[in-house]
Amino acid sequence: MFLLAISNQQEYYEKRLEEMLKEMPHFVEKYVDDKLYYRSPLTLFNYVRNFKDFFEWLVTEGIVICDSVKNFPVDALENLSLDDVNNYFKFLSRKKYVKGNELQQLNERTINQHKSALRSLFKYLTVEAELSNGKAYFERNVMAKVPVKKVKETLSERARKITEKIFIGDMDVEFLDFVKNEYPASLSPSQKRFFERDKERDFAILSMFLGSGIRLSELSNLRLKDIDFSSNQISIIRKGGKKDTIAATPSSIEDLRAYLDVRKEKYKAADGDNEYVFVKRYKGKAAPLSNRAIENIVYKYTKAFGKRMSPHKLRHTYATNLAKETGGDIPLIMTQLGHTDSDTSLLYVHSTIERQREAAEKLDARRKHRKK
């Protein structure tokens, strides 16, 4: 049923998706089977989880009678009223969950994700699927009547929020200097042993995020054959399985080379072309680092620096710096970051507006100085 996995992340979510489908009705299995070529296992896993929440709510509320989600009748979806569906999204909007020590509600973006998932399922069942009789599962699509409310934010506001969460100015350089020169002094002897063991690997990971704008899944799936030291480029697999080649800063490539010089000795790692770049030592052998392990590495060092950040925030930092250095070259930013929507790249241009204002004031100072 499933396509051959091309990455750790895809393989991981294919397995989780396969497990979840064992609890789902046949029409959801068919939906996933038909959609897997077009959507990633991660997206489909999240969609199926949304379907499960919806089915369970319908059963709990007594709107649909069945003994389990596995036996959920497809015709029950055809007969749902608009009130039933709207009440579900009202339920989501009032749902409380604990984050940290705070009680929070689902935001509009998350509710929109639930709507998108269910709209996709209903469209499939009413338009795209074809049974043996040549017809779809049913005709009435109540979910098409549910609007997706756009979260109203200007690019400037979205950019402002990004700027608050990333390294600004030379903070990225200061952060790397901190990891290399100051962080070890804060460690206990036992902590220092682990740091010394992994310092080249961990530093290369941080440097690659800040020196190329690479995504987490792209970095975790790097193979030795993907690195071109002569041109300071790396080959990656983008979302949707698309191959691409991007530039990396010479410094980040040098940091990567320094790690590879000790990789075989420290992790007992093979050096074949298809071997993963970033590995750990597990039961005496090298094993690829998972996305979660890489996230934890980033969290650990950024938290010690005083600003806990995710790999995605390091990517945002790189993109903002790239926008500044290129004067807001949107096509270049789109190419380097793998964006398909120019509005996403524009976020980083907007996040440099404050710097542009400061630059304008400095330029104007020359004129004022001339008048004196």
Q: Judge whether 3 lies within some domain.
A: no
Confidence of residue 1 (pLDDT cuts 50, 70, 90): very low
Q: Report the candidate in 204, 299, 302 with the shortest Cα–Cα distance to residue 261.
A: 204
Domains contained in the chain, number: 2
Do 67 and 165 fall within a single domain?
A: no
Confidence of residue 342 (pLDDT cuts 50, 70, 90): low
Positions marked active-site: 215, 239, 312, 315, 339, 348
Do 33 and 79 fall within a single domain?
A: yes
Contact call for residues 215 and 338 (beta carbons, < 8 A):
yes
Q: Report the candidate in 317, 313, 110, 346 with the shortest Cα–Cα distance to residue 211.
A: 317
Mean pLDDT of 171-190: 92
Confidence of residue 295 (pLDDT cuts 50, 70, 90): very high
Q: What is the CATH number of the domain that holds 216?
A: 1.10.443.10
Q: Report the candidate in 237, 155, 157, 321 with the shortest Cα–Cα distance to residue 333.
A: 321
Apex CA 37: angle with CA 35 and CA 43, to 5°?
60
* Domain boundary residue, one of 150, 183, 205: 150
User: What residues contact 46, with CB distance under 8 A and at least 6 apart?
Assistant: 113, 117
Count of CB atoms situated within 10 Å of the CB of 231 = 10
Do 32 and 116 fall within a single domain?
A: yes
Helix (H) or strand (E) holding 287: strand 285-288
Q: Judge whether 1 lies within some domain.
A: no
Contact call for residues 219 and 278 (beta carbons, < 8 A):
yes
Give all strands of the β-sheet with 243-247 in edge-to-edge order: 227-228, 233-237, 243-247
Do 135 and 230 fall within a single domain?
A: no
**Domain of 190?**
156-361
241 Rama class: left (phi>0) / alpha (psi -120 to 50) / beta: left
Tell me the C-alpha distance between 91 and 61, whole Å.
11
Position 328 scores a pLDDT of 65
Do 134 and 175 fall within a single domain?
A: no
Q: Judge whether 371 lies within some domain.
A: no
Q: Is 58 exposed, middle or buried (0-12, 13-18, 19+ CB in 10 A)?
A: buried
What distance lies between CA 284 and its chain's CA centroid? 31
Do 128 and 209 fall within a single domain?
A: no
Position 116 scores a pLDDT of 93
Position 68 scores a pLDDT of 93
Do 226 and 169 fall within a single domain?
A: yes
Position 280 scores a pLDDT of 94
Do 89 and 122 fall within a single domain?
A: yes
Mean pLDDT of 311-324: 84
Q: Judge whether 125 lies within some domain.
A: yes
On the question of pLDDT at 355 being above 80, the answer is no
Q: Judge whether 161 lies within some domain.
A: yes
- Three-class SS string for 29-66? HHHHHHHCCCCCHHHHHHHHHHHHHHHHHHHHCCCCCC
Do 131 and 174 fall within a single domain?
A: no
* Domain boundary residue, one of 150, 180, 199: 150
The pLDDT tens digits for 194-211 are 999 999 999 999 999 999
Q: Judge whether 235 lies within some domain.
A: yes
What distance lies between CA 348 and its chain's CA centroid? 17
User: What pTM does this model have?
Assistant: 0.61
Do 105 and 166 fall within a single domain?
A: no
Do 101 and 202 fall within a single domain?
A: no
Q: Judge whether 315 lies within some domain.
A: yes
Do 136 and 269 fall within a single domain?
A: no
Mean pLDDT of 291-305: 93
Q: Report the candidate in 28, 55, 40 with the shortest Cα–Cα distance to residue 3.
A: 40
* Domain boundary residue, one of 119, 134, 150: 150
Q: Judge whether 370 lies within some domain.
A: no
On the question of pLDDT at 156 being above 70, the answer is no
Position 155 scores a pLDDT of 52
On the question of pLDDT at 332 being above 80, the answer is no
Residue 105 pairs in a beta bridge with 96
Position 57 scores a pLDDT of 96
The pLDDT tens digits for 25-67 are 999 999 999 998 778 888 899 999 999 999 999 999 999 999 9
User: What residues contact 85, with CB distance under 8 A and at least 6 apart?
Assistant: 142, 143, 145, 146
Position 369 scores a pLDDT of 62
